[in-house]
Structure 1
Amino acid sequence: MKLAEFNTADPTKAAETLRPCIDVQRWVDAVASARPFPTKEALLAFASVAANPFTSEEVESAMAHHPRIGERPTAATTEASMSRSEQAGVDPADTALAEALAQGNREYEEKFGRVFLIRAAGRTAPEILQSLKERLENSPAEEDTIVAQQLREIAVLRLEGLIAE
């Protein structure tokens, strides 16, 4: 969607455009209500500020939509398509890496009670695995901060991919 279209879309259409970026109603409402944006950069800057901070409840809600690293969602939704694209660097045919990620995911979920979340776009599978191993050493409070930051980065990157100048 072009920025001009987003700026002039009715509120429901604007919200529908934003929701796949991150399903946090407060963020969706804030960004949609701040229109019009003079530039794409202004939109992205506002979206980033509006996403900081996410509350614990918002993080938990948003996390419900994220698949495990290495698992490709099969749904035909915009969000699932974005996730598949973001995880393009994780080759499921690399069985050793896939197993290492699966094992790391299990350990992470046992420790933190949620799926491991990382902005996968632009990262290689070995980088993701290394980050997973490092983050397993974090305290729950440290990890909460990191997860919220990763969600912010994902939301803004997804929005950047959806809106054209």
Structure 2
Amino acid sequence: MTASSPPGLARFNAAGQDAARAALHEICTSTAWADDVLAGRPYHDAEELLTASDAAVARLGEAALAEAMAGHPPIGRPRPGDAVSAREQRGMADAPAALRAEVAALNLAYQERFGHVFLICATGLTAEQLRDALRRRLGNTAEREREVLRGELAGINRLRLARLAVQAPAGEGTARP
């Protein structure tokens, strides 16, 4: 580990292929993305890792992008036990019932229109902002939405990788990503 390497990044670089792949799978379920990111190890710093992730997202074909999206629950409905998605979607947690119902209906309309889950980097967004994004993006063409979706996936992966990179070893008081 270099002086500038955070502890999580040093562990990721030193991990065996299977362990590193499992850590990446927790971040993004696209096998192609994980393969690309793994191929760049070792990373000298977190920014190099994030840049590699962005490039890997940009190279994802349709099947790999669909595989990545399949790993994300709908907004407002994180999977039971999925602390990461629950944390990222915190803005929906205390939303009034009417707003939650509206977001659920918009999620369904989005899935019917585009054939996949609505993906957004929800960290820090309120329920109203999430609803408004759903409304806006329902008006996108399929091509425009694919571009937006790719950018959102890159943002989600960046946030999750940044948490992985700074993660302290178990027992040092830093929560897992």
Same fold (TM over 0.5): yes
Match of 1:96 in 2: 98
In 1: Cα distance, 2:126 partner to 2:117 partner: 19
String of CA shifts for 1:46-73, please: whole Å, max 9, x gaps.
Answer: 2212221321111111121211111121
Match of 1:115 in 2: 117
In 2: Cα distance, 1:92 partner to 1:67 partner: 18
Match of 1:106 in 2: 108
String of CA shifts for 1:24-44, please: whole Å, max 9, x gaps.
Answer: 112212212211111112211
In 2: Cα distance, 1:12 partner to 1:108 partner: 35
Contact 1:22 1:155 in 2 (8 A): yes
- Give structure 1 stretches of 5+ with no counterpart: none
Contact 1:21 1:155 in 2 (8 A): yes
Structure 1 residue ranges, 4+ long, deviating more than 4 angstroms after superposition: none
Structure 1 residues 6 and 54 mapped into 2: Cα distance closer, same or farther (>3 Å)?
same
In 2: Cα distance, 1:45 partner to 1:88 partner: 27
Contact 2:76 2:92 in 1 (8 A): yes
Match of 1:149 in 2: 151
**Deviation of residue 93 (structure 1)?**
5.0
In 1: Cα distance, 2:9 partner to 2:72 partner: 27
In 2: Cα distance, 1:96 partner to 1:21 partner: 31
Match of 1:28 in 2: 34
String of CA shifts for 1:98-149, please: whole Å, max 9, x gaps.
Answer: 0110111121122112221111012111111111001111111211221122
Q: Amino acid of the residue matched to residue 75 of structure 2?
A: I
- Give structure 2 stretches of 5+ with no counterpart: 1-6, 168-177
Match of 1:140 in 2: 142
Aligned pair 1:58/2:68, yes or no? no
The share of aligned pairs that are identical, in percent, is 34
Aligned length: 161
